[in-house]
Amino acid sequence: MFLAWNEIKRNKLKFSLIIGVLVMISYLLFLLSGLASGLMNMNREGIDKWQADAIVLNKDANQTVEQSLFNKEDVSNSFKDQTTLKQSGVIISNGIHEENTLLFGVTDKSFLVPKMIEGKKFHKDNEVIADEFLKEKGFKLGDKLSLSQSDEKLKIVGFSESAKYNASPVLFSNNNTIQKLNPSLSSDKTNAVVVKDANWQKKSLPNNLEAIKIENFIKNLPGYQAQNLTLNFMIIFLFVISATVIGIFLYVITLQKTNLFGVLKAQGFTNGYLAKVVLSQTFIIALIGTVIGLILTIITSAFLPSVVPIKFSIVTLTIYGVVLIAVSLIGSLFSILTIRKVDPLKAIG
Amino acid sequence: MLEFKNVTKSFKDGNQIIEAVKPTTIKFNKNELIAIIGPSGSGKSTFLTMAGALQTPSSGEIIINNKHVSQMSQKALAHTRMEEIGFILQSTNLVPFLNVKQQFKLLQKQKKEVMSEENYTQLMNQLNLNDIVNKLPSEISGGQKQRVAIAKALYTNPSLILADEPTASLDTDNAMEVMNILKEQTAEKNKTGIVVTHDERLTKFCDRVFHMEDGILKAK
């Protein structure tokens, strides 16, 4: 560490350039990871808040709630805790703002409704609870909402915590309200039944229905996997790029120091000691670069508008930071192989 | 103590084999300062690098303080160099980003048993290095660099001091002072010193003088 740190101190410009590259890579990496989490959250936030184990749908609905429709009685009291879910896409407007939303028809005390943050729950037909996202978009308590595909008006009586479902904000109403908008969702029908029961797999269902594990249901939400895979690939490529960039930088620096390494070897410094010098140096610059990248990310996130779907988790950032430092160390292995080949005899002439 | 037993060193040059050091058997004792003189290409440097465990012989045995270095692994050779040998090289070879004080600290970190504080201070005084301890190699003269390199070679308390043209970049006064230090270190500190030089004036400080020509080492 002594040799590694002193070289960095005395060659500030050279090492600042490498650290600068690492800062940019880590900054991009952290922002991408935040974006990946944010987008993932946009899709699954509402579903996660159900804390459910499974969802029952029509077998031929391709795991899509809106395409599924069956008799409530087919699943009556089959599970420990269950609730019906009726869903319909609606475009709402309060005269100023317009938004694509999902209207959920739920029962009074349904566990599908997240925690309230303002107002009250719906008690009458056409009263709705809107999720927090709509509040941020400018919708207010008491707003009368007109709908693009119906003459019915909805009234916001409360706001719940943000509970996006497949990237759409959600309105919660009673079952009568959704039936007015979508007559096929009559009182005996439902799109899905959401289940809280650890032993859900052991329960039998009619042949036309299937129970799907919630995690699998989320994975099959439209666009969810494609989006995640794209961002994860970008993150993986960033790791590979950072290992390569650091590897090249350190390799060039090592080549410049071939003579010095040879002299040190002649004096009795072992390959192991010199490898530790390169590893320590890599660790120091990777740590500094990652920490600066992290600070920049935190500052940036404070200024990003709320519409940007970005969400940071300390655990994920820490893991990515550690992996970035680890891949930088892997990138330095080329330099270590070069050191092994340095002949002290040539270095001392 | 350094001993060569029937040591040879050959190199391949195309289809030719060049014998840089011809069969040599010799023993250098503790408290001795040896001079090896000879023309360029005579095999002096090859002899010195074998003595310094930087390369192994083609045949024969080299023994440094009862350690047979001829068959050692690279790691063991490096360990022997750090523990037993102090090199004073033609080019000064200081670490460019460490100041003079840190050059010694680096050695101290690698080898725990180094020169005592008292001996270190005395050596720094003798070599007139006290005023430049906080300077980088790029901030001192060639002669000062050479003196730092000499101090570094002695700092690890080696039993064998190997010097290749140690006074090449020094003026006469400094050159004589360096030879006095080498003489003192070998005579009083139980070390063996070998100086390879073109400068015949230095031989007067040495206990034995050898001449090397065409790979053959002969007492003068």
Q: List, for residues B172-218, the tens digit of each pLDDT value.
A: 888 888 898 889 889 888 899 999 988 888 899 999 999 999 999 99
Which sequence spans correspond to the domains of chain B?
27-45+72-219
For residue A349, the model assigns a pLDDT of: 67
> DSSP state, A165?
B
Structure tokens at B52: 């310094």
Give the model's confidence band at A254: pLDDT under 50 very low, under 70 low, under 90 confident, else very high: confident
Contact A268 B110 (CB under 8 A): yes
| Residue B73 sits at the chain A interface (C-beta within 8 Å) | no
Look up tokens 């009556």; give the residue.
A76
Mean pLDDT of A243-272: 88
What pLDDT digit, counting tens, does each position of A91-132 carry? 999 889 999 999 999 987 889 999 999 999 998 899 999 999
Find chain A residues with C-beta within 8 A of B49's C-beta: 345, 348
Look up tokens 């002290």; give the residue.
A344
The residue of chain B nearest to residue A271, with distances taken between CA atoms, is B75
For residue A75, the model assigns a pLDDT of: 85
In chain A, % of residues over pLDDT 90: 50
Mean pLDDT of A136-153: 90
Structure tokens at B61: 């045995």
For residue A145, the model assigns a pLDDT of: 93
Question: What value does the CA radius of gyration of chain A take, rounded to a whole number of Å?
Answer: 29
Structure tokens at A107: 């029962």
The residue of chain B nearest to residue A10, with distances taken between CA atoms, is B97
Q: Which among B155, B148, B77 has a CA at the least distance from the CA of B113?
A: B155
Which of the two residues, B1 and B139, has the higher pLDDT score?
Answer: B139
Find chain A residues with C-beta within 8 A of B110's C-beta: 268-269, 273
User: Does residue B19 carry a pLDDT above 70?
Assistant: yes
In chain A, % of residues over pLDDT 70: 100
Mean pLDDT of A26-33: 91
Find chain B residues with C-beta within 8 A of A263's C-beta: 89, 93
Give the model's confidence band at A250: pLDDT under 50 very low, under 70 low, under 90 confident, else very high: confident
Which sequence spans correspond to the domains of chain A?
2-43+225-347, 54-197
As its CATH architecture, domain B27-45+72-219 has 3-Layer(aba) Sandwich (3.40)
For residue B75, the model assigns a pLDDT of: 87
CB nearest B89 (choices: A9, A268, A348): A348
User: Does residue B90 carry a pLDDT above 70?
Assistant: no
* Burial label, A133 (beta-carbon count in 10 A; 0-12, 13-18, 19+): buried
User: Does residue A292 carry a pLDDT above 80?
Assistant: yes
Handedness of CA B167, B171, B176, B178 (dihedral sign): negative
What pLDDT digit, counting tens, does each position of A30-64 carry? 998 998 888 888 889 889 999 999 999 999 888 88
User: Does residue A241 carry a pLDDT above 80?
Assistant: yes
For residue B126, the model assigns a pLDDT of: 86
Mean pLDDT of A139-146: 93
What pLDDT digit, counting tens, does each position of A161-206 carry? 988 898 899 999 999 999 999 888 888 899 999 999 988 888 888 8
Mean pLDDT of A221-228: 87
For residue B103, the model assigns a pLDDT of: 93
What pLDDT digit, counting tens, does each position of A309-326 carry? 888 888 999 999 999 999
> DSSP state, A168?
B
For residue A177, the model assigns a pLDDT of: 92
- As a whole number of angstroms, the distance between CA A287 and CA A101 comes to 44
Mean pLDDT of B77-106: 88
Mean pLDDT of A242-253: 86
**pTM to 2 decimals?**
0.79
**Which residues of A fall below an 8 Å CB-CB distance to B?**
2-3, 6-7, 9-11, 260, 263-273, 344-345, 347-349
Half-sphere exposure of B106 (CA within 13 A, CB side): 26
Contact A268 B90 (CB under 8 A): no
User: Does residue A347 carry a pLDDT above 80?
Assistant: no
| Residue B157 sits at the chain A interface (C-beta within 8 Å) | no
